[in-house]
Structure 1
């Protein structure tokens, strides 16, 4: 199996596609100015205490107050609070971790009113991004994640990932971390650390400690509310979490970012830095690798997957529903039970892919085609568990009911990926009336003259539907060539399959829209 990342970077957003054998299985989009991402650490202020919920609402700068539940304060909250008070005190030097005296852990069944009050400053970390009408979910149990380790300030525990099965390896890693761990720091050893050498883990641990030790200095200057420590760049974070030794290629369309990615890969796997490649082709990178076409096919209410079979995916505020349909699929010589099993097995593969691709979270109910055999229901369950084992997000799968309904819970920490595949007609703009298509070419040329002669822009790129682009560039002396001679300027015509048939957009050399 080939594992590839394709990264498209433009001024407004970063898009990262994860491919397995050229099939799109994960898609991440984030705007360049994205805030309140999972892992970001904020200095906030308690706005309201809710004793009935045993929780508090905290102002971290989002339009809606964030939610902090008592169990999410963490056992060492009193020590963290002492650290915050000393770090924000005027006239004192930034506090050292070694000089902080640890307070007793707070009670697991305690009350929020015992530890917090309105107006109190508090150091929090985003555990769940804003979703729908809800603000961010917070925790005060601060953690700083690396590729192999997660640093837990004020803790003294060393935990090993349960996915590391070898007892000898677990024991080796525990002893190793205990020997290099600084005082007042706990460590969680991630699955990626299996087989790692002491020098590699020690280097990463030092970098995580250095990142935390920069926090007191930032707290001195911080206003309330404000970001104190952000996660890594989204591109690097994605690579950190999904990278494995089987990766074959990482393509990036931005030269500077490609260099940064190569440096990061070299730091974790020097022998693999050659897999990072800068894509410099004329066609958009997602078009070149066929990702744009897959996005159009895989998002939307209806998803086809095998021999006419398809899924219907519905979303509600409470949960998601997926209905499996055999469609017009028929197979000579097969009885209904066999046919249902084959469709359900194929559906399990596509459903696992859709959950990762759309980052669907919460409760998912799957309505499989009815099967009478309990043995067949078990086969579908095992197939679903096998496919979902590739999913890094925490999840739980329940057996099929007698009605062939399956319940899945999947951790939700950020908004679901939603891409509208149905497009408003660009020709009539939804009105049902169109202007003459004869005017399109003249309109493109007039806009081009305006951009060059009035706005004085350079190196313009025109994005058009492939049919229109072909019409303008075909022939020995194409309209494209005639326009360049007329304007005495060079420009590119870029075909894009996601453009409307008569739609047209003009970009400058920095990728910003001009018209």
Structure 2
């Protein structure tokens, strides 16, 4: 069972996702600072850089957005030319173009944008110009994959593309068709606004964090949504009724005296989950160090002595660590390259057990994650896509003296 806990204040909404009481996702959003990912803009090309095969476009933010040549070519790989053309033949300075944000601005970098437009619904992802039907890889039954692909081919228009989401499994054609009709209308609205708007202009914003979760991962038949704001609860009920009408009542208003995040154990789990040193069951530890595009996780037995032999102790420790690392990667929304230094194991079978355990846990993650395998040094290498900001409102502040290194920059003789 999943529980979504939502704490609302005057200026911020904080959302925590619990699976069987364990915190697996956390996000926060300021009311006036909703993320850009998924939003559509009417933009103007400012610079075209042939050496980078990219362009910078003005979307009305502090930094110009970055548009790579691959995001200008046709979204269907089979429709792209065999030799990639120069960006100069595709875009010109001063040209107006509709773009969608695929990655938030970060540090000194502007947002990453694309012309491969996607509009996610409850059952499908609609792509106005993709010209193909895809089915989620998490749907394993070949007969069901073929059925869903057939539905998509019957419903789509010639230029359109559809991806059948994991939750579309066993859904009737009528449900998928209703979703498609809604998303087509949304795209038509964006197109009409683009024709009448001055550059730069926001044409369409993605949903709030609560609505995104309801759309992407909430099952009203078995999951629970608990909020501490009557206004937010009413808005969630209206959105849920529009998305999945069926008379379900999974929305509950919390009225306890203590904070909802404290009452459901979220605050305590946040402090443990975002620490640099994380204690595991039995005394083993994880040391979690992050750079901008690289995260290194070190596994230590510490006080754990649970096996009959060294190899058994090491394997048990690594299995415990893999389970927790899979959960924490999702909770901390860790992105980029991830290197895990598990304790050395002698047997290939044990390494495979650890990999299988990690894959099982991350299979629940909606963010694309790929385990590359073991390096020659015995490190496990993986990558995880990250589009949005860090968890606003909780991520620990960087120390102004040491910059997060733990070492002072003031050296004295």
Q: State TM-score, norm by structure 2.
A: 0.89
| Alignment-derived partner of residue 255 in structure 1 | 230
Task: Flag the 1:326–1:417 CA change in 2: closer, same or farther, 3 A.
Answer: farther
Q: Does 1:274 align with 2:249?
A: yes
Match of 2:334 among 360, 371, 375: 360
Q: Does 1:165 align with 2:140?
A: yes
CA distance in 2, matches of 1:352, 1:408: 11
Task: Flag the 1:65–1:395 CA change in 2: closer, same or farther, 3 A.
Answer: same
Paired residues of 1:381 and 1:400 also in contact (CA < 8 A):
no
Paired residues of 1:131 and 1:414 also in contact (CA < 8 A):
no
| Alignment-derived partner of residue 72 in structure 2 | 73
| Alignment-derived partner of residue 294 in structure 1 | 269
| Alignment-derived partner of residue 343 in structure 2 | 369
CA distance in 1, matches of 2:376, 2:313: 18
Q: Does 1:395 align with 2:369?
A: yes
SS of residue in 2 equivalent to 1:17: strand
CA distance in 2, matches of 1:76, 1:357: 31
| Alignment-derived partner of residue 199 in structure 2 | 224
| Alignment-derived partner of residue 413 in structure 1 | 387
Paired residues of 2:220 and 2:250 also in contact (CA < 8 A):
no
Paired residues of 1:364 and 1:407 also in contact (CA < 8 A):
yes
Task: Flag the 1:155–1:256 CA change in 2: closer, same or farther, 3 A.
Answer: same
CA distance in 1, matches of 2:348, 2:2: 36
CA distance in 1, matches of 2:248, 2:233: 11
Paired residues of 1:4 and 1:247 also in contact (CA < 8 A):
no
**Superposition map of 1:164-203 within 5 A:** 164-203=139-178
Q: Does 1:350 align with 2:349?
A: no
Paired residues of 1:71 and 1:108 also in contact (CA < 8 A):
no
SS of residue in 2 equivalent to 1:415: coil
| Alignment-derived partner of residue 338 in structure 1 | 312
Paired residues of 1:148 and 1:189 also in contact (CA < 8 A):
yes
Paired residues of 2:53 and 2:68 also in contact (CA < 8 A):
yes
Q: Does 1:315 align with 2:314?
A: no
Compare relative contact order (CA 8 Å, sep 6+) and give the higher one, 1 or 2.
Answer: 2
Task: Flag the 1:108–1:64 CA change in 2: closer, same or farther, 3 A.
Answer: farther
Task: Tell me the matched-pair count.
Answer: 396
Question: Structure 2 stretches of 5 or more lacking a match?
Answer: 400-413
Paired residues of 2:221 and 2:250 also in contact (CA < 8 A):
no
| Alignment-derived partner of residue 19 in structure 1 | 18
Task: Flag the 1:108–1:31 CA change in 2: closer, same or farther, 3 A.
Answer: farther
Q: Does 1:243 align with 2:243?
A: no
SS of residue in 1 equivalent to 2:223: strand
CA distance in 2, matches of 1:36, 1:423: 22
- The more displaced of 255-264 and 110-119 is 255-264
Match of 1:109 among 79, 84, 91: 84
CA distance in 2, matches of 1:169, 1:66: 40
SS of residue in 1 equivalent to 2:374: coil
Paired residues of 2:4 and 2:225 also in contact (CA < 8 A):
yes
Provide the alpha-carbon RMSD of the alignment.
Answer: 2.3
CA deviations 1:179-228 (Å, max 9, x no partner) are: 33345322221111111112211211111011111123322442321210
SS of residue in 2 equivalent to 1:281: coil
Larger radius of gyration: 1
Task: Flag the 1:342–1:191 CA change in 2: closer, same or farther, 3 A.
Answer: same
Paired residues of 2:221 and 2:248 also in contact (CA < 8 A):
no
Deviation at 1:165, TM superposition (A): 2.3
